[in-house]
Amino acid sequence: MPRRCTVCDHPERHSIDEALVSGAPYRSVAKRFGLSESAVYRHKTEHLPTHLLKAREVEEVAHADDLLEQVRHLQTHALDILERAEKVGDLRTALTAISQARGNLELLGKLAGQLDERPVVNLNVSTEWLELRTVIVGALEPHPAAHTAVVKALGGVGSSG
């Protein structure tokens, strides 16, 4: 069980992170928020990068959601125009609306794909996989034939991505 981080638990964690990101020395940050220098230092080196990564992901998802919403809005408009144009027999406008709607659909598809790609885990860079691979290869060292065969097979896995 890892030790609790007094900075992560701090009610003003966001302000602390902001100060650290803006380049404030950890000593002065520690002083300002009444924290120990070692805690701020450890937080800065070990936890801050993860926080930043998460914040960026949240921002991107929010941004993508916003875009999705706007494209949906445009799509409703395009279909509405198409319906009205068809009613009055304005084929020119109808065609324009159809092409607009098609473009919106493509965009929606791309945005949806962008959102869906997020949870994909890449086996080649997964720490668990690298550890497992090391264990397997190490265990087979006394058995040269098996070792060679497995390394060759794993090499194929590693280079396929």
Which stretches of the chain bind Zn ion, using CB under 5 A?
5, 7-8, 43, 47
Nearer to Zn ion (CB atom), residue 50 or residue 70:
50
The answer to whether residues 52 and 64 touch, using CB atoms and an 8 Å cutoff, is no
Residue 60 Cβ, how far from Zn ion at the closest point, in Å? 23
Least Å distance, CB 56 to Zn ion, is 18
Residue 137, token pair as written in the block? 């290869």
Please state, in angstroms and rounded to a whole number, the distance separating the CA atoms of residues 63 and 1.
Answer: 36
Q: Who contacts 78 (Cβ-Cβ below 8 Å, separation ≥6)?
A: 97, 100, 101, 104
Work out how close the CB of 19 gets to Zn ion at its nearest, in angstroms, rounded to a whole number.
14
Q: Which residue has the tokens 């638990």?
A: 9
Q: Rounded distance, CA 124 to CA 122, Å?
A: 5
Torsion of CA 102, 104, 105, 106, to 10 degrees: 90
Least distance from Zn ion to the Cβ atom of residue 151, Å: 39
Measured from the CB atom, the residue of 8 and 107 that comes closer to Zn ion is 8
Closer Cβ to Zn ion, 43 or 133, answer by number: 43
Yes or no: say if 101 and 75 are a contact pair by the CB < 8 Å rule. yes
C-beta of 7 vs 19, nearer to Zn ion: 7
Q: How far is the CB of 27 from Zn ion (least distance, A)?
A: 17
Closer CB to Zn ion, 55 or 130, in the complex: 55
DSSP secondary structure letter of residue 89: T
